[in-house]
């Protein structure tokens, strides 16, 4: 009588292949991709808005400025909620690499919340806005680490580029907190390139996978 609890060599090879390649059915990448794409585009737009203020092109009342900034965050969460619902429809179970990748970025997100509290409180307590400007630098540093994990798992060149770009951006922003104009330019470009760019790649891949699955089903 065969022992079904023991795996066959073929099953072991298939398992190892899934770990190395990440599988061919990434079910849980849409939320991550949309979060990056929407975050990069929306907050990049907000940075452009501040650039317009700096140049004197945007001259809105204070209440209108606040409403615009709040609207950016509201729209981001609406888009994110839509992506989560789409992932639930498709099912979030995926290969080990996909789950590990999502865990890495979820961990970075938890660290982001702690950083917001620390730097936000410090800036308010000391009355120094420059302290708050270290927060985006730390965010890019954490994203760099997460993308480095992703690259080690999937070996996609664009992931390594995102990791290196995030590291360079983190250092640049940290050195530019007292140089507001250049800081804003760097942050704007990084949001579009290092958030919206990878987000577009992941979102497109997830939607293509769902389309293939729908046709096959």
- Tens of pLDDT along 52-99? 999 999 999 999 999 999 999 889 888 878 877 776 666 544 555 555
Q: Which of helix, strand or coil describes residue 58? A: coil
Instruction: Return the pLDDT at 9.
Output: 54
pTM of the predicted model, to two decimals?
Answer: 0.78
Q: Is residue 46 part of a domain?
A: yes
Q: Is residue 8 part of a domain?
A: no
Q: Is residue 12 part of a domain?
A: no
Instruction: Return the pLDDT at 20.
Output: 42
Q: Is residue 17 part of a domain?
A: no
Contact status, residue 203 vs residue 35, Cβ threshold 8 Å: no
Short-list 21, 4, 32, CA closest to 207? 32
Q: Is residue 184 part of a domain?
A: yes
The fraction of the chain above a pLDDT of 70, given in percent, is 71
Q: Is residue 4 part of a domain?
A: no
Q: Is residue 15 part of a domain?
A: no
**112 vs 26: which has the higher pLDDT:** 112
pLDDT at 162 over 50: yes
Instruction: Return the pLDDT at 100.
Output: 56
Q: Is residue 84 part of a domain?
A: yes
Residue 54 to residues 115, 171, 182, Cα–Cα distance (Å): 27, 23, 11
**213 vs 96: which has the higher pLDDT:** 213
Instruction: Please state the domain count of the chain.
Output: 1
- Boundaries of domain holding 76: 26-210
Average pLDDT, the chain: 80
């Amino acid at each position: 009588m065969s022992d079904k609890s023991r795996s066959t060599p073929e099953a072991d090879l298939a398992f190892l292949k899934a770990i190395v390649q990440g599988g061919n059915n990434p079910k849980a990448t849409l939320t991550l991709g949309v979060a990056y794409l929407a975050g990069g585009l929306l907050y990049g737009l907000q940075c452009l808005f501040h650039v317009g203020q700096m140049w004197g092109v945007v001259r809105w009342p204070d209440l209108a400025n606040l409403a615009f900034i709040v609207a950016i965050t509201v729209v981001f969460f609406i888009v994110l909620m839509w992506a989560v619902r789409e992932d639930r429809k498709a099912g979030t179970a995926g290969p080990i690499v996909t789950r590990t990748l999502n865990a890495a970025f979820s961990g970075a997100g938890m660290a982001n919340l702690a950083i917001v509290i620390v730097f936000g409180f410090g800036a308010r307590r000391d009355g120094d806005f420059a302290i708050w400007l270290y927060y985006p630098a730390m965010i890019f540093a954490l994203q760099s680490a997460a993308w480095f994990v992703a690259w080690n798992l999937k070996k996609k060149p664009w992931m390594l580029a995102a990791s290196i770009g995030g590291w360079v951006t983190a250092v640049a922003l940290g050195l530019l907190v007292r140089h507001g104009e250049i800081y804003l330019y760097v942050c704007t470009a990084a949001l579009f390139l290092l958030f919206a760019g990878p987000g577009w790649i992941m979102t497109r891949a997830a939607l293509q996978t769902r389309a293939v699955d729908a046709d096959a089903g």
